[in-house]
Amino acid sequence: EIVMTQSPATLSVSPGERATLSCRASQSVGSNLAWYRQKPGQAPRLFIYSASTRATGIPARFSGGGSGTEFTLTISSLQSEDFAVYYCQQYNKWPQTFGQGTKVEVK
Amino acid sequence: DVQLVESGGGLVQPGGSLRLSCAASGLTFSSTWMSWVRQAPGKGLEWVANIRQDGSDKYYVDSVRGRFTISRDNAKNALYLQMDSLRVEDTAVYYCARDNSYVDHWGQGTLVTVSS
């Protein structure tokens, strides 16, 4: 199975600042990569698919990039609701696999 | 709006069985792949199984293959997960998910606890 590795495990950022999260695949997944945000006690929510396409209702401060094995999720100016855990997921091969998550916390 | 509502979770002893259900609305259920995704307490996400629109193809992660069975009833807009020979490590919140390869709609989840 394809192993997804996210870094860092925890990112401490001040509100209004920029955050960049990384995700690496153990083999190429093309652009078949998604990003989710999960708040405590809630189900995940889709934010990005096809590596760089924002899902419905996702604000423009979120942007995804990369292809192959290296991907990034950038939040240009962190808002209070953005402090949460973010997961990447590849869907190039079954089983679809997730990274272990990056927690974005208030600095 | 798409709604996915899971039910059937609870406490079960190791070796026991449980059947999860998911009631879907607000989508053309019979036209979409569906999945179950789980999350152990304090851990990350794990895809468990998915099923083709007409139920003809089913895929399972290695850790549950032979113990879990995914099924669906398109007439009832319902998805199921029959879980047998449950293990302590199956303890998790189980989410019903619309499978577009990525998940664009999630249920709220149902907690399954396997413990003696």
pLDDT tens for B5-54 read: 999 999 999 999 999 999 999 999 999 999 999 999 999 999 999 999 99
pLDDT single digits (tens) B15-24: 999 999 999 9
Query: Are B103 and A101 within 8 A, CB to CB?
Result: no
Chain A CB within 8 Å of residue B106 CB? yes
Distance in angstroms (rounded) separating the CA atoms of residues A10 and A58: 22
pLDDT single digits (tens) A94-106: 899 999 999 999 9
Query: Are B106 and A43 within 8 A, CB to CB?
Result: yes
pLDDT at B89: 97
Query: Are A91 and B106 within 8 A, CB to CB?
Result: no
Chain A CB within 8 Å of residue B107 CB? yes
Q: How many CA atoms lie within 13 A of B34 on its CB side?
A: 29
Longest dimension (CA), chain A: 38
Q: Using an 8 Å CB-CB cutoff, list chain A residues near B45.
A: 36, 44, 87, 89, 98
Q: Using an 8 Å CB-CB cutoff, list chain A residues near B62.
A: 95
Q: Say whether A81 sits in a helix, a strand or coil.
A: helix
Distance in angstroms (rounded) separating the CA atoms of residues B52 and B1: 22
For B8, residues 6+ apart whose C-beta sits below 8 A from its C-beta are B18, B19, B20, B21, B110
Residue in A43, A55, A87 closest to B44 by CB: A87
Distance in angstroms (rounded) separating the CA atoms of residues B73 and B41: 30
Beta-sheet pairing, B110-114 with B10-12: parallel
Query: Are A43 and B59 within 8 A, CB to CB?
Result: no
Query: Are B101 and A91 within 8 A, CB to CB?
Result: yes
Mean pLDDT of the region A55-83? 96
Chain A CB within 8 Å of residue B17 CB? no
Burial of A46 (0-12, 13-18, 19+ CB in 10 A): buried
pLDDT-derived band at A77, boundaries 50, 70, 90 = very high
Q: Using an 8 Å CB-CB cutoff, list chain A residues near B107.
A: 43
Helices (H) and strands (E) in chain A, counts: 0, 11
In terms of CA atoms, which chain A residue is nearest residue B63?
A95
Q: Say whether B30 sits in a helix, a strand or coil.
A: helix
pLDDT at A93: 94
Joined tokens for residue A105? 């916390």
pLDDT single digits (tens) B90-102: 999 999 999 999 9
Beta-sheet pairing, A45-49 with A53-54: antiparallel
**Alpha carbon B4 to chain centroid distance?**
11
Query: Other CB atoms closer than 10 Å to residue A76's CB: what's the count?
Result: 14
**C-alpha closest to that of A97 among B111, B59, B58:** B59
pLDDT single digits (tens) A9-51: 999 999 999 999 999 999 999 999 999 999 999 999 999 999 9
What percentage of chain A has pLDDT greater than the value 70?
Answer: 100
Query: Are A98 and B45 within 8 A, CB to CB?
Result: yes
pLDDT-derived band at B105, boundaries 50, 70, 90 = very high
**A93: distance to nearest CA of chain B, Å?**
10
For residue A53, which phi and psi values (nearest 5 degrees)?
-95, 120
Distance in angstroms (rounded) separating the CA atoms of residues B48 and A97: 10
pLDDT at A51: 98
